[in-house]
Amino acid sequence: MAIYHLEAKVVSRGAGRSAVAAAAYLSCSRMLNEYDGVQHDYTRKQGLAWQQVFLPVTAPAEWQDRERLWNAVEENEKTKDSRLAREFVVALPIELSKAQWERLLSDFVSDTFVSDGMCADVAIHDPYPPGHNPHAHILLTVRPLDEKGKWQYKTEKEYLCVKDGEERGFTAAEFKQAQADGWEKQYRYKVGKKKVYMTPSAAQAQGYERVSKYPKSTKYGRQNPITERWNSDEQLVLWRAAWADVANRHLERSGHEERIDHRSHAERGLLEQPTVHEGVVARAMEKKGIISDRCELNRQIKADNALLRELRGQVKKLAQAVKNTLPALAEAMENLRKNLLLFCYQLGYLRKGKERLNTSLNTLRPALTQYNQLAKDIRDKTKERRSLISEKKALSAVHVFRHRELAAKIAALTEDLEELRSEKNLLLASLAYTEDDAADKFPKDIAAMEQSLKRLEEQEQKYSAELDAALTEYAGLREQAQGFDLVQLYESRQAIRSGKEQEAESRAQAVYGEKFSPILMFDSQKAVSRMLHEDIERQAVRRMVRQAQKGQQTFQKKRGEQER
């Protein structure tokens, strides 16, 4: 089914990236970056389905050649940490054909970016096997163009000028008029031992010496209004919404009912938990038969969401389905009780998962602290030992006593290091880590567990809310039951209860497969029984039965006496 995915990135030299390299990757081609002389070759990459360059009307026509376009971008950016391009990666609806993808992207890019003055380089990737992960890369310029097709500035120098004690910023073009109005730039002057910004007229009057030729200015300058808008969070939200709108329009036009939504689950009022990004590493592990924590968490979330959707729908329908008959009421109450069993089972399952994670974290966190301390001690003692060895080598043979003293210290340090390394290796072995991956994997595993724990806690809160709603519905059914014979209602419910409990167990088995726990289901039955006060209800029914039997016996006794 169609899914919403739009990932926004910035191609920056500061992050070691290149606009030419990004363009070569998306077009699966070979391109030379004239800025640094590096040849980027992605001709062996598979899965390119379509590519095209889109230009605004003011852009030079030769930029239809993407190599010339992105080399022009690289040439114009001078600093080592320049932002070169903006990149979007969007998931394409699998319901549409390749030709429909092309029209969808053409509409989106032309209406959203090119019409706003950006140059866009677009490609569709449909990696093998085709149709399982179709997506598009959209590479965009970050500088606007003027009417002559020349790059505009991103930021402009803004000088902080003073007039009558007021400070205000002016660009170079604005300063010409401001200077005529009496505004002055500020420079640094030496005032005693300090260096102070002041205007030349004020400094000359007091005879201060200027120590810098650069006037005072704002830290980042004044941003181009167009680039400021492009870089804003508000604009990103609009772009995200635009992708959903265009994609939904093309889905509707093609006769498909599927729709995508750029809003988060919380904004849409959904209780379902969103899945986490798995990534290529996790999926590669799964293909090799290794269970990835991220993939396992997603399987858990998907199972939870499926069950939650089903139960929520049933709870809403039960109150409406009750008719003024005792069998219908008994059926509705037992169906709702079945849902309560599933809610309790799921909450118990989530809490077991939280308990396991907390146990692991309670082991790993102190172990990480111990590992870091051991690693620090080993580094410190190794450094000290090397220093002593160097000192010993530099001593002449006549310093016999110093030689012996250093040798003794070196031997002691060697023994200490062996003990520390042995302790560290034992610690790693107890946690199934190796020396090579411990430093990197230790904190990553803890971070992943903490993230999983947070997800489970969010799921627990949502299931608890659904459980409370179901209990409220049950209380409403119980009120309706006051108009019926409670003993007959109880007996009708008992007659179908075992079947409903079996349905709940079968549903949980279908969702959790091999992870289904009969013990947890038994505990859920006891929890539901406590919530619904079924022991009290059972005793009350028994009292009513005894009273009815006693009344019947009394009636029969009196009737017998009358007959005699």
Percent of the chain residues topping a pLDDT of 90: 32
Most confident of 211-215, 328-332, 542-546: 211-215
Q: How far, in Å, CA of 242 to CA of 110, rounded?
A: 12
Query: What is the average per-residue pLDDT within 9-26?
Result: 90
What is residue 562's predicted lDDT score, i.e. its pLDDT?
A: 59
Whether the predicted pLDDT of 435 surpasses 90: no
What is residue 429's predicted lDDT score, i.e. its pLDDT?
A: 67
Q: How far, in Å, CA of 392 to CA of 229, rounded?
A: 66
Query: What is the average per-residue pLDDT within 320-324?
Result: 51
Query: What is the average per-residue pLDDT within 37-48?
Result: 90
* HSE of 434, CA atoms in CB hemisphere, 13 A: 2
| pLDDT tens-digit readout, 151-171 | 998 888 999 999 998 999 999
What is residue 97's predicted lDDT score, i.e. its pLDDT?
A: 92
| pLDDT tens-digit readout, 179-222 | 999 999 999 999 988 999 999 999 988 889 999 999 999 988 88
Query: What is the average per-residue pLDDT within 275-297?
Result: 57
Q: How far, in Å, CA of 164 to CA of 183, rounded?
A: 9
DSSP state letters, 3-47: ---EEEEEEEGGGT--HHHHHHHHHT-EEEETTTTEEEE-TT---
Task: Pinpoint the alpha helices (H) of 61-97.
Answer: 66-76
What is residue 332's predicted lDDT score, i.e. its pLDDT?
A: 85
Whether the predicted pLDDT of 317 surpasses 60: no
Tokens of 326: 């005792």
pLDDT category, 263, cuts 50, 70, 90? confident
Range in 86-90, 330-334, 484-488, 546-550 the model is least confident about: 546-550
Whether the predicted pLDDT of 440 surpasses 80: no
- What is the residue type of 270? L
Whether the predicted pLDDT of 46 surpasses 60: yes
Query: What is the average per-residue pLDDT within 106-122?
Result: 95
Range in 50-54, 401-405, 549-553 the model is least confident about: 549-553
Mean pLDDT of the residues in the chain: 83
With a CB cutoff of 8 Å and minimum separation 6, the contacts of 38 are: 18, 21, 32
Q: How far, in Å, CA of 533 to CA of 542, rounded?
A: 15
Q: 424 near 375, Cβ under 8 Å?
A: yes
What is residue 268's predicted lDDT score, i.e. its pLDDT?
A: 56
Helix (H) or strand (E) holding 122: strand 120-125
What is residue 329's predicted lDDT score, i.e. its pLDDT?
A: 82
Tokens of 375: 């690693």
C-alpha 272 chain-centroid distance: 15
Q: How far, in Å, CA of 225 to CA of 558, rounded?
A: 101
- Between 498 and 411, the more confident residue is 498
Query: What is the average per-residue pLDDT within 238-244?
Result: 93
pLDDT category, 407, cuts 50, 70, 90? confident
What is residue 271's predicted lDDT score, i.e. its pLDDT?
A: 47
Q: How far, in Å, CA of 89 to CA of 556, rounded?
A: 85
pLDDT category, 269, cuts 50, 70, 90? low
Whether the predicted pLDDT of 405 surpasses 90: no
pLDDT category, 500, cuts 50, 70, 90? confident
Q: 378 near 435, Cβ under 8 Å?
A: no
Q: 56: left (phi > 0), else alpha (psi -120 to 50), else beta?
A: beta
Percent of the chain residues topping a pLDDT of 70: 85
| pLDDT tens-digit readout, 51-107 | 999 999 999 999 999 999 999 999 999 888 899 999 999 989 989 999 999 999 999
With a CB cutoff of 8 Å and minimum separation 6, the contacts of 206 are: none
SS3 per-residue string spanning 268-328: CCCCCCCCCCCHHHHHHHHHCCCCCHHHHHHHHHHHHHHHHHHHHHHHHHHHHHCCCCHHH
Beta strands 158-163 and 120-125 are unpaired
How many CB atoms within 10 Å of residue 337? 23
| pLDDT tens-digit readout, 347-385 | 888 888 888 888 878 877 888 788 888 888 988 989 988
